[in-house]
Amino acid sequence: MVQDITQFYLQISPSCTIRVRKANDRFTMTMKSDEMYIREEIEFPIPEDAWFRLLNEIPMQPIQKRRHTVRWDGRLWSVDVFKGSHKGLVMAEVELSKAQKITKLPSWIGEEVTFDPRYYNQNIASLKGKNDKKRT
């Protein structure tokens, strides 16, 4: 499965992150607690016109990526290939039902960045990439 995703953040704080996302033709808002590994997450649909209104109000560039879902060793992995300002960045992650360590990683996995806050999507969103342009 492949999804084209554009997302941005309305709030990034120590207690809660609010993300707004367009994934293919689905528009959602997600509220996440900011626990490191086990996060409470509430997601709900929003109207398309609300997504575009919010997009035009944010001060930072949205994240654009193509997500590939890959099954490997019985688990579903999300492989995000970033576009736009962050072109060249590729990240893979696996969602686990509880905090546990995976002992066998795919050979296509590179550097482990789970503990590196530079690679959290909300931090990537706040970084200006080399191709940033003002939206009109």
Instruction: Specify whether the CB–CB gap between 124 and 85 falls below 8 A.
Output: no
Give the distance from CA 106 to its chain's centroid.
21
pLDDT at 104: 81
**CA–CA distance, 37 with 35 (Å, rounded to integer):** 6
Per-domain residue ranges for the chain? Answer: 2-126
For the domain bounded by 2-126, which CATH number is listed? Answer: 2.40.320.10
Give the distance from CA 6 to its chain's centroid.
9
Instruction: Specify whether the CB–CB gap between 20 and 54 falls below 8 A.
Output: yes
Segment 84-128, tens digit of pLDDT: 989 999 999 998 777 677 768 899 999 989 889 889 888 888 765
pLDDT at 131: 41
Segment 66-80, tens digit of pLDDT: 999 999 988 899 999
Active site residues: 9
- 119: three-class secondary structure by DSSP: helix
Segment 42-74, tens digit of pLDDT: 999 999 999 999 999 888 789 999 999 999 988
Using CA atoms, how far residue 100 sits from 37, 95, 118, in Å, is 10, 10, 22
